Structure 1
């Protein structure tokens, strides 16, 4: 028979933990104070009396006192874990809403830029387009420049990622289509690292050259 100094040592090495020893409903009752911990301690004591595998050096009174203290600590730990789970779930919900908001914003922006292109093709001036959008002409110009940059960087990221290793390919392709062109520029430069992939057509090499130059301007 293996003997431990006290019940705390036994439980730390052998278990079971409180959540392994009570049902979920009983744990709820322990947490809200409607189930006396003495009854749970009795279960441990009965099992300890029945086993011939492990034992403790302390007498029953001390063992029970230690056991009650341990159960209280386990209840406090379980309560904190539940609070942390609630906090984590709320943060996950916030992250999910932020992701959804970004998706909607990107969809709206993409549709808006499509309408701007259609308006230009129909012969509308930039001044007229900006006025109807409720923005300034410089802001419209900035949007159009960012759109051109994004299109260029998307081409470059795809070309760079085709033959890249798995880690680099993940990084390059993750930057495809995002609205932050400065972030795209940084990824393009990290993908190029002074060398262009082999086997490019002259047109593809020219795309990478323009993307590298533009990325350098934005970095």
Structure 2
């Protein structure tokens, strides 16, 4: 425009230069504004260099004085947790920072670490409980199958042995087969009589032992 003077400032910020360059060809780096916003937000959540140097100087002084142990000093100096708590306590204002700030940061950091460890421990305990429940259900399922299998096998065995014994009165049966069936029937009878259980109860006891053995074996296997 005629009569208008073009003024060039002696000094210009990097933000202004970046904006001017980006406006000339925004299609080349369309994500730049978003990245700048993210960068600014990240910087806002972290202490400034001056604040951090002040913090480090103070904790070094107190560590040499014996106020902090070596572990406490390492926690304050290198943990991300300490940086976050420092910002929460001071909101980035150096005027709020005092000699007691590092101690407050340390106490809060330890409290947070203990809380996180407890949450992890609780979550791990819940996972272990869920896993044990799965093992119990699986073992119980195998136990039920074992129970029905044992009961059916015993029942069929008794029926066959009794059948062979009774049929011997009407038809001639091989002596070996008859002897085997008699022995099996005798053994089953002795077991049920001495244990004081019926065939059903006997099968239940065996299946419970199998269930317990499977559960303990699987638990031991996965624990290792």
Structures share a fold, TM > 0.5? no
Q: Between Structure 1 and Structure 2, whose CA radius of gyration is higher?
A: 2
TM-score calculated relative to the size of structure 2: 0.36
TM-score calculated relative to the size of structure 1: 0.36
